[in-house]
Amino acid sequence: MHPVTRICCILLLAQCNSPGHAQIAFLQPERIFAGDIAELVIELDSKIPSLYPLDLAALEADFEVLNVKSRIARVLEAKEMFHRMQWIIEILPRRSGNLSIPSIKVGSVSTPVLSLEVTRQPPALLASQDVFFEIEAQPQNPYVGQPAILIMRLLHNIPISDGHILESGADDMEVYRNRRDSRYVVSRNGKEFDVLERSIALVAQSPGVISLSRANYRGTIKPESASTSADSAVPGRRIYRLSEALQLQIRNPPAAFSGSTWLPARQLEISQRWDAIADDLKAGDSLGFTLTVEALGLPAEALPSNLVSGYSDRFKIYADQEVRSNRYQGNNLLGRLEQRFAVVVSQPGEITLPATILKWWDVTADVERVARLESTTFSVANSPANQFGIADLPRTGSNLSVETVPGTPSMRSNRLWIALLSLVLTASISILLVTSIRRRISRKINSELAIRRNLRALRKFCMANDPVNTRRELLKWGRQRWPADNINGLNQLETRAGFPEFGRELSRLDRALYGQRDSGWQGKRLWQLVVTVPRGRQAGSGLEQTSLPDLYPQQGLPTR
C-alpha cells in the first residue's frame, strides 16, 4: 500500500474510533415571522478537525440559503482535548407554515430532522414594526451609455440596527455610487416612516433588455422588552427585505445623431480659462489655457479629450493629460473633464485658434444639441531678436581685435545668433514637453489595458468556479487597486474592501482552496461583489461607504 494511502486510512480509522461526542443540530429561533431569518446551527465534536462541505440541496425546496459560516474551536473537557466544528446556516423561508428541516449529512453522521414554525406577522404588530424596501429606476429605458439612476429606499417605523444593503445590479454594467445616503421622514397610510435613500448609476454599453438582481436589506429589530429593560441580551428579530425585480430596456443611439462621439446627457457645457496673457505677446512666447467639459447625467469617463488641436507655421498646440471626476448633483451624476493645453507661438503676426465644437444628445428633449467655443485671435509682435536684418558674421582671428558698436554688421550677426539660439531652445522645450506627455499617456494606456485583462480573466475564472486561478487573479486585482500596499493575501483584500459580504465570499474561496478538492465552490457572487468596489476606494474607508448607517430615528428630521 502506498504510504500516503496508508496515512489517510489511519486518519479515517482514528476519526471513526474517536470518542462519541454527540453531534448537535438546532434552530435559533424555532418560531419566526415570514420575512425573518432563522439560523440552523450544526456542531460536531471530533479529535481530527475537518470542516466538511455540506450538501444543502435538500433545503432549497422550502428555504433560501443566505449564508454559511463555519469555524473550529479547541475544547478541553474531562482532561480530554477535542475539536468542535460548527456551521451556522442562515435560511430564509419561502412560505409560511410548519416547515421541516431535513437531515443533513456531516462527514459520517447525519443531523436529526427539525421543525421551523413560520407565521405571518399579526396586523397589530405590523402597524408598530413595519420595515419594507422600495426601488425604482430613472429612466427604465436609457440609451446606450446613458446612466440609469437606481433609487433604493428603506422605510421603517421602528429602530433597526446591524443593517446592510446589498445593491441591485447586473453583469457588464458600470456602477457609479453616490457616497452620501439621504435620510428623511415620510407619511404612508397615516403612519410616519424613517427613510434611508441610496442611489447608484448603472451604465450599459450595449442595447437590449437587462434584468437587474434584486436589492436586499438585512438587519435586526430589537424586541421592545430589550429596549425598556436592562436585559440587553434578549435576541432581536433578524429580518430580510427584498426589493422588486426590475428590468432596463437599453436603446441604441438615435439615427438622427450626427456627432462623432455619442454623448447622451441632460446638460453639457464647455468652458475655457486662460492663464495670464501679456499685452506684448512676442514670437517664442507660450500661452496656457484649461478646457473644462461638464455633463449632467453622464459619467466623466464618457467625455472626449483632446478637443483642441491645431498646427500651422505660426503656432503649435500641445495637450496635457486630462483629469476626470464624478460627483452627484441631487440624484443625477455629474461628470467633469479638465485638460490643460499649451500654445507655442513661433512667428509674429495674427494667430487664430480654431473653434471647439462638441455635439451631444439632450435626453430630456430627445434632440441633438451643440456645445461651442468660438475661435480666439491673438496679435503676436516681432521678437526683438528678429527686428534686424541678417548679415554675415565677421571673421576674427587670435591676433585680430574688432571693436563693435551698435548698428555694425558684427552686432547684427550676434543678435541673429541670439535669435537662432532662442528658437532652438523653444523647439527643445517643446520636444521635451511632447515626449513627457506621450510617456504619461503610454503608461496610462498600458495600465488600463492590464486592468482590463485582469478583470476579464477574473470574471472567466469566477464563472468557471475555478478557485485556484480566481485567487491568483484576485490578488493581481488587489495589487492594481491598492498599488501602495503589499497585497499578498485574501485577508488584506477583505480589510481594504471593507464590507462584510465581500469578506464572507473571500472566506468561502479560502475554504475551497484549502478544503476538499471537490468543494462545490461557486464564484458568480464573488465576481458580482468585485465589480461593486469603486476604483478610488482606499483602505479603511470601505465601512463608511458600504455599511448602512445607524437607522435609529432622530429628532428634527425633515419631512417630505
DSSP 479-518: HHHSTTS---SHHHHHHHH--HHHHHHHHHHHHHHHS-S-
Out of 3.30.450, 2.60.40, 3.40.1350, 3.30.70, the CATH code matching 21-120 is 2.60.40
Mean pLDDT of the chain: 79
As its CATH architecture, domain 266-382 has: Sandwich (2.60)
Residue range 461-477: mean pLDDT, rounded: 88
Distances, alpha carbon 277 to alpha carbons 84, 263, 273, 343, in Å: 78, 33, 11, 12
- Under the banding of pLDDT at 50, 70 and 90, the label for residue 317 is confident
Higher pLDDT, 375 or 551: 375
Percent of the chain with pLDDT over 90: 31
Residue 12 has pLDDT above 70, yes or no: no
pTM score: 0.58
Q: How many CA atoms lie within 13 A of 214 on its CB side?
A: 10
Which band of pLDDT confidence, cut at 50, 70 and 90, is reported for residue 23? low
**Beta 356-362 vs 264-265: how paired, if at all?**
parallel
Domain extent listing, the chain:
21-120, 124-250, 266-382, 445-546
The reply to whether 124-250 shares the fold of 21-120 is yes
Exposure b/e, 215-254, CB count within 10 A at least 16 = b: bbbbbbbbeeeeeeeeeeeeebbbbbbbbeebebebbebe
The pLDDT value given to residue 403: 41
Q: Which three cell numbers stand for residue 399?
A: 591676433
Question: How many beta carbons lie within 10 A of that of residue 281, not counting itself?
Answer: 17
Model confidence pLDDT, tens digit, residues 150-205: 999 999 998 888 788 888 888 888 999 888 889 999 998 888 999 999 999 999 98
Whether residue 72 contacts residue 36, with contact meaning beta carbons closer than 8 Å, is answered with: no
The answer to whether residue 398 scores a pLDDT higher than 50 is: no
Whether 22 has a pLDDT exceeding 90, the answer reads no
State the pLDDT at residue 401.
37
pLDDT value, residue 413? 60
Q: What is the pLDDT of residues 325-368, one digit of tens each?
A: 999 998 899 999 999 988 888 778 787 888 899 999 999 999 99
Q: What is the pLDDT of residue 197?
A: 93
User: Is there a contact between 347 and 367 (Cβ–Cβ < 8 Å)?
Assistant: no
Q: For 426, which DSSP code? A: H
Angle (deg, nearest 10), helices 409-463 and 467-481: 150
Cell numbers describing residue 319: 495637450
pLDDT at 400 over 70: no
Percent of the chain with pLDDT strictly greater than 70: 79
Residue 443 has a CB neighbour count (10 Å cut-off) of: 11
CATH 2.60.40 correct for 124-250: yes
Q: How many CB atoms lie within 10 A of CB 302?
A: 21
What is the per-residue pLDDT for 137?
Answer: 94
Q: Please indicate whether residue 54 or residue 395 has the higher confidence score (pLDDT).
A: 54
Which pLDDT does position 254 carry in this prediction? 94
Give pLDDT, residue 352: 81
Q: Looking at residue 208, what is its pLDDT?
A: 93
pLDDT over threshold 70, residue 130: yes
The tens digit of pLDDT for each residue in 482-515 reads: 887 777 777 778 777 777 788 888 888 877 876 5
**Residues 297-303, mean pLDDT to the nearest whole number:** 94
Going by pLDDT thresholds of 50, 70 and 90, the confidence category of residue 557 is: very low
**C-alpha cell read off for 7:** 496515512
Query: Which residue(s) pair with 379 in the sheet?
Result: 350
Give the side-chain half-sphere CA count within 13 A for 257: 18
The x, y and z cell numbers of residue 166, run together, are 446589498
Q: Is the pLDDT of residue 262 over 60?
A: yes
Closest to 19 measured CA to CA, from 67, 106, 91, 77: 77
The answer, yes or no, to whether residue 251 has pLDDT greater than 80, is yes
Dig out the grid coordinates for 119 from the structure: 407565521
Most confident of 72-86, 365-379, 429-443: 365-379
